[in-house]
Chains A and B, each alone.
Chain A
Amino acid sequence: MASEPLASESSVSDDASPPERAAVLPKVATGIDGFDAITFGGLPKGRPSLVCGAAGCGKTLFATTFLVNGATRFDEPGVFMSFEERAEDLVANVASLGYDLDGLVAQGKLAIDHVRVERSEIEETGEYDLEGLFIRLGFAVDSIGAKRVVLDTIETLFAGFSDETVLRAELRRLFGWIKDRGLTAIITGERGDGQLTRQGMEEYVSDCVVLLDNRVEDQITTRRLRVVKYRGSAHGTNEYPFLIDAEGISVLPVTSADLDYRIAEGFISTGIPGLDAMLDPGGFHRGTSILISGEAGTGKTMITASMIDAACARAERCMAFVFEESGDQITRNARSIGLDLARHVESGLLRFEAARPSLYGLEMHLARMHRDIDRFDPALVVIDPLSALRGPPAELQATMVRMIDMLKSRGITAVFTSLREDGEIDQGSAIGVSSLMDAWIKLLNVEANGERARTLYVIKARGMRHSNQLREFTMSSEGIALVDAYIGPAGVLTGTARVVQEAAEAAAALRRAQESRRRQREAVRRRQSLERQIDELRANLEAVEEEEAVLLSEDEMREAVLASERRTLATRRGGTK
């Protein structure tokens, strides 16, 4: 077991504020993720606790984990007294979780004693007590200095011995003995009719009772855990989902709903230059929740692939929870737009967690994500698609809120995709996921002229200026490229229509230019013609002026001649005068 869960436990218990008197009652950590948080420290120290539930709900695993963690992490050796499974079976059963019981036994940190009770081999011939059980347990405890004890499932004794009165008295004595010895014990019990256990063990073990449950709703199983009773201590009273898988057992505490978290600073690029350009700071705020909604085939997954690629290129860890495709499939598909996600997977920066939505219930999905995120510590989480998660609306909403809350509180940027165009997650119900999101990109396939064009717009982006315009985008081996859509008097056009419209406009512009040039030429021509006329007139004018001058001089000469003639005549006459 890694030591990380401890950190998460303390962080969870911080916001749950354990009451002060919790310190009065000493507790023993189970080391089970989340359980120590909801019980504010674990099981009561030096007392027996009852873990009960129906068959197959994880009682034995819970108890085993308690012992293994005690031995490996808290230096508290433990004794496992099994009344059902043989030691070898027990070892084999938990080997898949990485628990090496044989190794712990060899190191003297664990003792396993299989108590076999076979009614047919036992003949009762008078008074007896169960001192043998005490001696065996005492011997096992003393041999390794055990602090922890598990009795799984002690009620089996009721099938082996007929004298119930003796048995009950002895069990009461046994639990008293456990307390006297200061052993922290888990007693498991099978769920009975109308009571927590078949034989009413809760009468004897009353300090702490934990109920495990394995419920099937809509054919999906959800494991839940509830602390029914915890004497002398506050505890979380809800039913908490818990998870059993290859990583062991983990309980998911319902995180607080307050909005008091540290926000991450900075911006992250989406890996699509055109989209970055639509957002004023050049990308999304780090640590925000981004919703990408759109119908099937609008390119949601490829946009998230772009964002993943960009994040990995910045050497940030990414985790993608995919519900409809396998990681390999997405990797292959992303290659078609020129993104090589495989190298990120190889380098360990990117991890795909693919699971069918119906594999678990909602809570289990959340629990699984919670744990995986804790372990992987990614900077970017992709959930594709959110709408694949199914469940009762109220539960769905609560799950979403918690998921987003959990991601935000860790400063993780989250990208969700949704099939619903309006950003809802469920058809026919009004669960507003969109309002929880900090940014929302809507993808829309515009159908016109017998073709579909991919368009995109940013509906909201909290805390930044962003383009309010619709963009058309294309996906090619070069990646995703954004093209300005045609926005003009004829409306918004995309695809071929945009091209046609643009061509038409270009032709019209050309025509207008030609016309204009023609008019200019005409004007020049007319001016030239006028100028020619002006020149002609000016030439005429000059000719007339010259003629006038000639005439004038002729007149003057004639006048002069006349005058001289008159003088001559006068002289002739005057000579006489």
Chain B
Amino acid sequence: MSGPGPTGDGLEAGADGAVDDGHYHLRLYVAGQTAKSLAAMANLRRFCEEHLAGHYDIEVIDLMKNPQLAAGDQILAIPTLVRRLPAPLKRIIGDLSNTEKVLVGLDIRPKVDEL
């Protein structure tokens, strides 16, 4: 996991001892350029700009090209968004069209509170 950054709140310092600084490391698994994949990608970028501007990075993995990566993150459904950081690991499946569920799934706190 990430380095020696001492900050971060206790809640987010997950059970695996990972320390995070509020940085979101997201990985989106897609399989080819399907409508669902494209929709998910568009939705994801929109969220991140809205809620996580500046402290996120997105990695898009096309399993059609790299099928060997599917097992590592236990991917079954496509598309799947995996929140690698902050811990704990979260999986959000679907085309991310349900904004509220995505926000809950990603633990983007202000929105959770508002809900």
A residues near B (Cβ < 8 Å) are 113, 115-117, 121-133, 135-136, 138-139, 143, 157, 160-161
Chain A interface helix/strand/loop/mixed: mixed
Q: Which of A130, A132, A136, A160 has the most CB of B within 10 A?
A: A132
Q: A128-B79, A135-B67, A139-B68 are in contact. List 17 more A-B contacts (CB 8 A).
A: A121-B88, A122-B91, A125-B94, A125-B105, A126-B36, A126-B39, A127-B94, A127-B97, A128-B77, A128-B93, A129-B36, A131-B31, A131-B78, A132-B29, A132-B63, A132-B76, A136-B75
Write the chain B residue with the least CB distance to A129.
B78
Measured in the bound complex, the distance between the Cα atoms of B90 and A116 in whole Å is 13
Q: Determine whether the beta carbon of A117 is less than 8 Å from that of B76.
A: yes
Q: Determine whether the beta carbon of B101 is less than 8 Å from that of A124.
A: yes
Known A-B contacts A115-B74, A122-B91, A124-B101; the reply to A132 vs B80 at CB < 8 A is yes
B-chain residues with CB within 8 Å of residue A138 when the two chains form the complex:
67
Write the chain A residue with the least CB distance to B101.
A125
Known A-B contacts A113-B71, A136-B71, A138-B67; the reply to A128 vs B91 at CB < 8 A is no
From A125, A136, A143, A157, B98 is in contact (CB under 8 Å) with A125
Contact with A along B86-111 (1 / 0, CB 8 A): 00111111111110011011000000
Query: Which B55-88 residues have C-beta < 8 A from chain A?
Result: 63-64, 67-68, 70-71, 74-80, 88
Q: Which of A113, A125, A135 has the most CB of B within 10 A?
A: A125
List 17 interface pairs A-B (beta carbons < 8 Å), by A numbering.
Answer: A116-B74, A121-B89, A121-B90, A121-B91, A124-B101, A125-B96, A125-B105, A126-B40, A126-B94, A126-B95, A126-B96, A132-B77, A135-B64, A135-B70, A138-B67, A139-B70, A139-B71
Write the chain A residue with the least CB distance to B94.
A126
Write the chain A residue with the least CB distance to B73.
A132
Write the chain B residue with the least CB distance to A123.
B105
B-chain residues with CB within 8 Å of residue A116 when the two chains form the complex:
74
From A113, A121, A124, A136, B94 is in contact (CB under 8 Å) with A124
From B67, B71, B74, B77, A130 is in contact (CB under 8 Å) with B77
Q: Determine whether the beta carbon of B90 is less than 8 Å from that of A132.
A: no
A-chain residues with CB within 8 Å of residue B68 when the two chains form the complex:
139, 143
A-chain residues with CB within 8 Å of residue B75 when the two chains form the complex:
132, 135-136
Q: A62 CB to closest chain B CB, in angstroms?
A: 24
Write the chain B residue with the least CB distance to A160.
B76
A-chain residues with CB within 8 Å of residue B77 when the two chains form the complex:
122, 128-133, 161
From A117, A121, A125, A160, B102 is in contact (CB under 8 Å) with A125
Measured in the bound complex, the distance between the Cα atoms of B90 and A130 in whole Å is 18
Measured in the bound complex, the distance between the Cα atoms of B76 and A353 in whole Å is 49
From A122, A126, A135, A161, B97 is in contact (CB under 8 Å) with A126
A-chain residues with CB within 8 Å of residue B70 when the two chains form the complex:
132, 135-136, 139
Q: B92 CB to closest chain A CB, in angstroms?
A: 5
Q: Determine whether the beta carbon of A123 is less than 8 Å from that of B31.
A: no
Q: Determine whether the beta carbon of B91 is less than 8 Å from that of A130.
A: no
Q: B24 CB to closest chain A CB, in angstroms?
A: 15
State the interface size on chain B (CB cutoff 8 A): 33
From A128, A132, A160, B95 is in contact (CB under 8 Å) with A128
A-chain residues with CB within 8 Å of residue B96 when the two chains form the complex:
125-126
Q: Determine whether the beta carbon of A123 is less than 8 Å from that of B93.
A: yes
From B31, B88, B95, B102, A127 is in contact (CB under 8 Å) with B95
B-chain residues with CB within 8 Å of residue A128 when the two chains form the complex:
36, 77-80, 93-95
A-chain residues with CB within 8 Å of residue B105 when the two chains form the complex:
123, 125
Across chains A and B, which 7 residue pairs bring their CB atoms closest together, nearest first? Answer: A123-B105, A126-B94, A139-B67, A126-B97, A131-B78, A132-B75, A126-B95
Measured in the bound complex, the distance between the Cα atoms of B64 and A455 in whole Å is 84
Q: A160 CB to closest chain B CB, in angstroms?
A: 8
Known A-B contacts A125-B97, A139-B68; the reply to A133 vs B90 at CB < 8 A is no
Q: Determine whether the beta carbon of A131 is less than 8 Å from that of B63.
A: yes
Measured in the bound complex, the distance between the Cα atoms of B70 and A65 in whole Å is 27
Measured in the bound complex, the distance between the Cα atoms of B71 and A138 in whole Å is 12
Q: Which of B89, B94, B96, B97 has the most CB of A within 10 A?
A: B94
Query: Which B3-36 residues have C-beta < 8 A from chain A?
Result: 29, 31, 36
B-chain residues with CB within 8 Å of residue A160 when the two chains form the complex:
76
Measured in the bound complex, the distance between the Cα atoms of B74 and A157 in whole Å is 13
Q: B62 CB to closest chain A CB, in angstroms?
A: 10
Q: Which of B31, B36, B77, B105 has the most CB of A within 10 A?
A: B77
Q: A462 CB to closest chain B CB, in angstroms?
A: 66
Q: Determine whether the beta carbon of A115 is less than 8 Å from that of B76.
A: yes
Measured in the bound complex, the distance between the Cα atoms of B75 and A473 in whole Å is 78
Measured in the bound complex, the distance between the Cα atoms of B31 and A139 in whole Å is 13
Write the chain B residue with the least CB distance to A83.
B76
Write the chain A residue with the least CB distance to B93.
A128
Write the chain B residue with the least CB distance to A127.
B95
Write the chain A residue with the least CB distance to B78.
A131
B-chain residues with CB within 8 Å of residue A139 when the two chains form the complex:
67-68, 70-71
Q: A149 CB to closest chain B CB, in angstroms?
A: 15
Q: A476 CB to closest chain B CB, in angstroms?
A: 73
Write the chain A residue with the least CB distance to B63.
A135
Q: B87 CB to closest chain A CB, in angstroms?
A: 12
B-chain residues with CB within 8 Å of residue A115 when the two chains form the complex:
74, 76
Known A-B contacts A132-B77, A136-B67, A136-B71; the reply to A127 vs B36 at CB < 8 A is yes
